[in-house]
Structure 1
Amino acid sequence: VAFFGILTSLFPLFVIAGIVMLVRRSRSGSSGSDDASVSLRRLLEYCFLAVALGLAASGLDSLFSAAVEAMVEGTDDVDTPSWAITSLLVGGIALWFLVRNVRRRFEESPDEQGALGWVLYQGILELVTLIGFAISVNDLLDGIIGAGDVEPQNLVHLAVWGAVWVVHIRLGDRIVGGEPVRSTLVPFAVSINALGALVASVGGLIALCFMAVYEGITGYSSWGGTVDGIRDVASVLIVSAALWWWYWLRQAVHDRGSMLHHAYTLFVGVLGGLGALVGVSVMFLAALINWGFAIGEDPAVEYFDFLPVAVAVAVVATLVWRYHRELVPPVEGRPRNDVDRAADHLAAFVGICALLAGVFVVLFVAFHHLTPVPPGAERETTMVIIVGLPLLVVGVLVWRRFWQAIQVRAGDAEEVGSAVRRAYLYVIFGMSGLVALVTVLFLVFQVIDGILNTSFDREGIWDLHAPLAIALTAGVATGYHRRILRSDQKVLAGAMPVPMPRPAPSPELPGPGRVIIVAADPAPLAAAVEMATGAEVEVIRRSDPPPVTFDLDMARMEIAESDAATLMVVVGPDGNMLLIPVDRS
């Protein structure tokens, strides 16, 4: 049930999205249905509609639940459903008036269903009612499977909230302006939470299977029965699988190419799956190394009882990572794009985080051994091997695998100039630089404060090990990525086109700089003037017929001898030419 409760955390996302859209509409200066005040009034009306619906549905749910309870246990053990009747009566009447008003508006203006307020109402109510419906189905399945008690009221909850959920699904499926009313945030939001519940339940089942195998091999078991464990996760598995199929496989997965689809695939699937796989790998190596130092303290079968869970997490994380990585279109037959780059850079980010954590542990332990030990403290020699070595090994392997694949194209200007690569470098460079600056500031403060207060002893030096290790680790990351940024700048500078040398200025030609020709056939004279003087020529065509005779060479020479900056040439019907200096300043 807790997995489905995560959906409630998405409500602020819809509220923030609504506020942003309202502000954008108010700044756009649009009128009519797009006016911000109208949108805000509609949003308030839909809030009242949601409250009325909640009162009516909860009242109906409570009333029928009380009736079922009275039929099963008798009327003496059932409280009077006063609040249920009140909620149903007040909420039902308000709901009837509000629904009638909304339906009338939609009939008059069908495009109103695509407005911001209604989209937010439909999306939030679909999520809320889905939570109630999923919890009801989960409780009912628990009772049927045997993981809980069968409560007749669960059927009432399922019927009421399921009906309201279906109604809002139908409202979201309506097409307005060629697009469904439902916001694309809804299927992706449910898909994320359903995937989390599905991964947890599938991982639980796989862990139970490995536990049974482990118990069969070693004869040791520190957990309950396998059948009881399967019952505990079966209902969550069924509900989450159904929701993931409905919202992801039927809806969201087909929205390929959208920003939400890329964000879900890369950040939830690729980053989440690979991050979990790296984490469980580090944990397994650390536990294995730690057992080498603790041989004889615990039996091996007891110490390694975490293996089934670790293997299950690794299997599920690998499946999630590979499935979402396959959703990225193959690179064969097409140029590399930002989605491909984002997948590689996110994987490299996971690796470098583990690598830097390992470097920090190594430096921290090294400082412990380079400074005197204060009274009561101990040097953690094994920490660098148990924790630092797994982080370094896993981090180097992952980071080297993906960063080398990225750096193979470091000579390509399009690659190094991509937004993904620059965002990756600037994020790591900026974050590590900021961390280094803050920790150095803290170190200097601690040193000065200790000197002034005469408390800068062994214990004071010992307390500086962690921030000093953080500062050096962040400094190494900053320096390396600064070098990469400089190298990218050189590649981009080398790829810039060489500017063509400006042609030498031609010798100055005689005549005006601008000539306006007014003639019945100005084209021949315009070409001759432009060739003789190099002037900018503007032509105005007269509507009367052209002259029978016109001396073009004489006209060209007279225009070239003029010293006016701008000259208007008017050719009359008889072939005579009038030169008029013009001042256009």
Structure 2
Amino acid sequence: MTVAVVRRLIVFALLFALVSIAAVGVAGLLERVIGLGSVLVTDTAGLARALAFVLIGAPLAVLVWRWERRRLAEPLERSSLVWSVYLAAMTLTSLIFAVALAASAIAAGIEGEWRPSEAAGAVVWAGVWVWHRRMRRSPVTAPTRLPALGVELSALFGLVVAAVGAGSALAALISQALAPVAPVLLDSRPWYTAVLQPLVWAAVGAVVWWWHWTREQASGTPDALARVLLVIVVAGSAGAALFGIGTVLLTLLRLLFDDDPAAEILSPLGAAAGAALVGAIICDAHARMLSARGPRVRGAARLAVSGVALIGAASGFGVVVNALLAELDATLLADDTRTLLLGGLSALVVGTAAWWGTWRPGRAVTEEQSGDIARRVYLVVVFGASAVVALVTLLLIGFRLFEVLLAAGGASRMQGGLIERIRAPLGLLSATVLVFIYHFVVWRRDRAIAPPTSRAPGIERVVLVAARGSEPLAQRIRELGGVRVTLWEASDDRTPATEADADEIVRRLHALTATRALVVAGAGLAPRVVPLSEAAR
């Protein structure tokens, strides 16, 4: 088994490299065909490289693929995790290059510029993506393990591209609206070009997301990775929205209390407003999808958003302490400390408000909530990470202190130089200490009121022997029984079991006292459940 895994790693890594090399070479040759007449100087070295990549890389890629394709006729090969990872990695890589090159070529075309290299690369990498999509959908080569991995990652990539493009377009539009007050320097493009170019990226990303989300059915994928990615999207978009709102608040505070020119103060407003609006829309849309994923996923998303808000609030508190300490140093300019203080206050206000709304510290915690594994992991991660950060900043403060003391004339420089050296780490230390203390107290309180963790013996792991295509049955047993299921596909032509069989299997599993069991299932046959001893691994 180990030899087979190593062989797959080598073969698929080689195939990935050869396909990439061949794609670069074909793109180089196609560029010279479609760009004929627009090239002023012949690039002999580039042509030689493209020919070498095509004439050497492409045949080797074909040979390796033909050899591996024969092996994919074996069910064990198609169920390999390495094959699934390769297919997802190559699909995502080709999609990234195709989207980036196509969007860049179209955006350049808005300004009347023709870029044959980007157009050729987009066409070639799109062909690579189509080829690997056919592999994923073919009944001969489709992976049986993590079959939707590439689709889920591709949908996430399209969403990120669409969000960044839409946010950039909004930023350009708002900056243009503020041009009479805050003119945009060093940008000779017409204002509509600055808006249309990011809109191209937004449109391409939206198409990619829509295709994978609806046509490829990434929205209905039941695996755990889909739930994890959904939580990541909610937390990431919430973080972008909070950052944008905090920057908008900082801009308003600086307009009221800062003496800097209005053009300088308003310069980040467009990007901040775009990030806030797009992030809020994406967060709200995906938060609505959480209702169909169960209470555990909703709770995990809420904790993730709470963690993001906590980072913002703690950072703001640390910056406020930093700014207040800077007031003790007469060598610093007042405007610098004022801007720093306003930035810290903005982050503290926005982060605290979001954290309070998601964590809800004033709400009474029930026994069931205190025993929730996601809440426990969240608390341990937060106060554990804050303890590590506090230790590092404490060491840095000690280093700065002894650096000043041991320097020439250290005693005379203590008052002026020490504050400037330690104010940033001291602000971070104060924030992390508060975070650690609060979450450690909450963790201790939860442990005190949580129900006992011991439970009656029961099934924890199941080995399911069933027909090919029985992954829905395995997933159904996982959902109903709350157990880990390992699927072994039989080599005969038996018919997959039904959901009614899953109900019967779970009922019989709950009647066992063993922690592991072997289940043999098939349509038309009574499922056989065999308890295993503790020595069975």
**TM-score, length of structure 2 as denominator length:** 0.71
Q: CA 1:78 to 1:469, structure 2 compared with 1: closer, same or farther past 3 Å?
A: closer
> Could you tell me which of 310, 332, 336 is aligned with 1:352?
310
Count how many residue pairs are aligned between Structure 1 and Structure 2.
445
Could you tell me whether the CA contact under 8 Å between 2:19 and 2:61 is conserved in 1?
A: yes
1:391 aligns with 2:356: no
Partners of 1:377 and 1:91 in 2: CA distance: 60
Q: CA 1:180 to 1:301, structure 2 compared with 1: closer, same or farther past 3 Å?
A: same
- Write the mapping of 1:11-50 to structure 2, written as runs, cut at 5 A: 35-50=1-16
Tell me by how many angstroms 1:394 deviates: 1.6
Q: CA 1:37 to 1:281, structure 2 compared with 1: closer, same or farther past 3 Å?
A: same
AA aligned to 2:138 is R
User: Which residue in the other structure is 1:318 paired with?
Assistant: 280
> Could you tell me which of 268, 272, 279 is aligned with 2:243?
279
- Write the mapping of 1:7-406 to structure 2, written as runs, cut at 5 A: 35-70=1-36, 72=37, 79=44, 81-107=47-73, 109=74, 111-142=76-107, 145-151=109-115, 156-175=120-139, 183-214=147-178, 221-222=183-184, 224-251=189-216, 253-267=218-232, 269-295=233-259, 298=261, 300=262, 303-304=265-266, 306-329=268-291, 337-368=295-326, 373=329, 376-377=331-332, 382-383=338-339, 385-404=341-360
> Could you tell me which of 410, 434, 437 is aligned with 1:455?
410
Partners of 1:74 and 1:489 in 2: CA distance: 71
Q: Higher mean Cα deviation, 233-242 or 192-201?
A: 233-242
Tell me by how many angstroms 1:170 deviates: 0.3
> Could you tell me which of 469, 472, 485 is aligned with 2:443?
485
**CA RMSD, Structure 1 to Structure 2 (Å):** 3.7
Aligned-pair identity in percent equals 23
Summarize deviations over 1:100-142 as a string: whole Å, max 9, x none.
Answer: 43344445x3553333443343333323333443344335434
Could you tell me whether the CA contact under 8 Å between 1:280 and 1:314 is conserved in 2?
A: yes
AA aligned to 1:149 is E
> Could you tell me which of 378, 381, 386 is aligned with 1:427?
381
Could you tell me whether the CA contact under 8 Å between 1:409 and 1:415 is conserved in 2?
A: no
Tell me by how many angstroms 1:289 deviates: 1.9
Tell me by how many angstroms 1:429 deviates: 1.5
Could you tell me whether the CA contact under 8 Å between 1:50 and 1:121 is conserved in 2?
A: yes
Partners of 2:321 and 2:279 in 1: CA distance: 30
Summarize deviations over 1:429-450 as a string: whole Å, max 9, x none.
Answer: 1222233334344445655666
Partners of 1:194 and 1:449 in 2: CA distance: 50
**TM-score, length of structure 1 as denominator length:** 0.66
Summarize deviations over 1:334-373 as a string: whole Å, max 9, x none.
Answer: xx7322222222222233223222322333344455x6x4
Partner SS, residue 329 of structure 1: helix
Summarize deviations over 1:156-179 as a string: whole Å, max 9, x none.
Answer: 544433333211110011246996
Partners of 2:40 and 2:400 in 1: CA distance: 72
AA aligned to 1:161 is W
Tell me by how many angstroms 1:266 deviates: 1.5
Partners of 1:112 and 1:225 in 2: CA distance: 56
Q: CA 1:50 to 1:178, structure 2 compared with 1: closer, same or farther past 3 Å?
A: closer
Could you tell me whether the CA contact under 8 Å between 1:69 and 1:78 is conserved in 2?
A: no
Partners of 2:7 and 2:168 in 1: CA distance: 48
Q: Higher mean Cα deviation, 131-140 or 423-432?
A: 131-140
Structure whose CA Rg is larger:
1
Q: CA 1:184 to 1:461, structure 2 compared with 1: closer, same or farther past 3 Å?
A: same
1:437 aligns with 2:391: yes
Tell me by how many angstroms 1:328 deviates: 0.6
Q: CA 1:279 to 1:55, structure 2 compared with 1: closer, same or farther past 3 Å?
A: closer
User: Which residue in the other structure is 1:514 paired with?
Assistant: none
Partner SS, residue 363 of structure 1: helix
Q: CA 1:445 to 1:65, structure 2 compared with 1: closer, same or farther past 3 Å?
A: closer
Could you tell me whether the CA contact under 8 Å between 2:245 and 2:350 is conserved in 1?
A: yes
Tell me by how many angstroms 1:467 deviates: 3.5
Q: CA 1:120 to 1:148, structure 2 compared with 1: closer, same or farther past 3 Å?
A: farther
Partner SS, residue 291 of structure 2: coil
Partners of 1:113 and 1:386 in 2: CA distance: 57
Q: Higher mean Cα deviation, 254-263 or 446-455?
A: 446-455
Partners of 1:229 and 1:323 in 2: CA distance: 27
Q: List gaps (5 residues or longer) in structure 2.
A: 455-537
